[in-house]
Chain A
Amino acid sequence: EADIYQTPRYLVIGTGKKITLECSQTMGHDKMYWYQQDPGMELHLIHYSYGVNSTEKGDLSSESTVSRIRTEHFPLTLESARPSHTSQYLCASSAGQGAFPGAQYFGPGTRLLVL
């Protein structure tokens, strides 16, 4: 079983608040990812990191930011939450080098509701 953790699991917050979603993994994986998923819809990549001090934007435009100061930690921050940010946020990590990419392992997710 994958050792990747997300906190909080659920968050209800008012418009304009700053929030940070935490993600940690104990597998020593270099690569980490943030996805956004609305109910019944597909996952969309919003940020990813290939290692410490490396971050990139994903396919889905997002007003969030990320940082990667330590290998095991990949927090996501929303400076000013809006109702349009209401969604489920999933963190994942992977190893794998060269010709055989490794599977991404997912955390349990954070369900965010912005009022």
Chain B
Amino acid sequence: EDQVTQSPEALRLQEGESSSLNCSYTVSGLRGLFWYRQDPGKGPEFLFTLYSAGEEKEKERLKATLTKKESFLHITAPKPEDSATYLCAVQTSGSRLTFGEGTQLTVNP
């Protein structure tokens, strides 16, 4: 059974304080790993797709990396508007995704 574990569950940062979120996965045959951002009461917003170990993607203050067992979402000099829940999901067979429980990020001004 595919498993996705995200840590920490919650993270509080000061504005400008860089950090990383972790997504560990146990799957049989990874086809893709996805990062999403979710604001309260809204649907997840797609951020990145990573397909193979060593791959990196960047968007503004966010950078996602992938190894054979985990992915990191690095947040550089975060701002209060980066506060959200960040979700990681893996895709193995077909097009179905298995989601982690998310990391709730709060960035204080």
Contact = CB atoms under 8 A, between A and B. Distances in A.
Pair from one complex: yes
Contact of A90 (B44, B94, B95, B96): B44
Contacts of A92: 43
Contacts, number: 58
Interface stretch (B15-23, B67-75, B76-84, B98-106): B98-106
A94 interface: yes
Nearest to B46: A103
Interface residues of B, number: 23
B60 to A, nearest CB: 16
Q: How large is the interface on A (under 10, 10 to 19, 20 to 34, 35 or more residues)?
A: 20 to 34
Contacts of A99: 31
A61 B27 CA distance: 22
A108 B95 CA distance: 21
A2 B45 CA distance: 9
B34 A45 contact: no
Given A99-B31, A100-B51, A101-B32, A109 B43 contact: yes
Contacts of B91: 101
Interface of B: 31-32, 34, 36, 41-46, 49, 51, 87, 91, 94-97, 99-102, 104
Interface of A: 2, 6, 31, 33, 40-43, 45, 48, 50, 58-59, 88, 90, 92, 94, 96, 99-109, 111
